[in-house]
Amino acid sequence: MGRYRFAVEYLGTDFAGWQIQPGQATVQSELEKALEVCLRVPTAVVGAGRTDAGVHGSGQVAHFEGEDGLDVRRVQGSVNALTSDSVFIRRLEACAPDFHARYSALSRLYRYRIALRPTALYGSISWHPGMPLDPDLFRRALKDVVGPHDFVNFCVPREDGKSTLCNVLRADVEADEVFLTVTLEADRFLHKMVRSIVGACFDVARGALPGALIKDILAGSYAGERTWAPARGLCLEKVVYRDYEY
């Protein structure tokens, strides 16, 4: 048996997330169904990140096991013909048997797009809150997430005993006439962590909460109401590996 990897992009609007869920359409289940038809054997797909319902991906990475010597061009073409228009894979290739889409990743990069005005063309991949924002206030608040921190207060509560430490390598904000685009890169992300961070910075940028909000949440000294940004504006855009560029 051999191991194969590929990059995959998807519009998450109609999916209940990446991970298989009984009775629900997910990206993982659609890929596995397509591969089973193509390879004539049930095939498990492992992704680099378990994006939530409604979250998009332009640079998700996954791997699967298959017979040695697969015609990767044929398999890639078949998978793309068998999946919906909302899913597309690229750069399918054989890889080392110890490559793991999730555990071999060095970092993951997400972008969140806040629409500063209504947009018909990009409405499905952005969030339009309909209120003025100060990009400089957003940018200053966001800088406080950079570095290694315990992000337990920026995720959905968990009781699995796993670490909530993450190292945020990059946190940038760009603004133009249409979008305020937030870029976050870290060694790992917790469940809904990006949406929680973006929502808190949004509260600062609209003048609802103080500029030290991120620091206060990290320290556990703020327990009040705050915004969690909706899924539609979030996209997993890149997963970084030592030996795979796509």
What's the pLDDT tens digit per position in 89-114? 999 999 999 999 999 999 999 999 99
Which residues of the chain form CATH 3.30.70.660?
107-239
Cβ–Cβ under 8 Å, residues 194 and 110: yes
Q: Residue 211: what pLDDT?
A: 97
Tokens of 109: 């990069």
Domain with CATH 3.30.70.580 in the chain: 2-103
Which of 125, 102, 103 has the alpha carbon at shortest distance from 115? Answer: 125
Residue 194's pLDDT band (boundaries 50, 70, 90)? Answer: very high
Exactly one of 52, 136, 203, 216 is catalytic; which is it?
A: 52
Looking at the predicted structure, is the pLDDT value of residue 229 above 80? Answer: yes
* 14 a catalytic residue: no
- Report pTM: 0.95
Could you read off the pLDDT of 68-87 as tens digits, one per residue?
999 999 999 999 999 999 99
Over residues 169-179, the mean pLDDT reads: 96
β-pair type (87-95, 56-66): unpaired
Does residue 44 contact residue 64 with C-beta atoms inside 8 Å?
A: yes
Span 50-73, pLDDT tens digits: 999 999 999 999 999 999 999 999
Fold assignment, 2-103: Alpha-Beta Plaits (3.30.70)
For the chain, give the mean pLDDT: 96
81 Cβ neighbours under 8 A, 6+ residues apart: none
Is 107-239 a CATH 3.30.70.660 domain?
A: yes
CB 79 within 8 A of CB 34: yes
Q: What pLDDT does 162 receive?
A: 85
pLDDT, position 160: 74
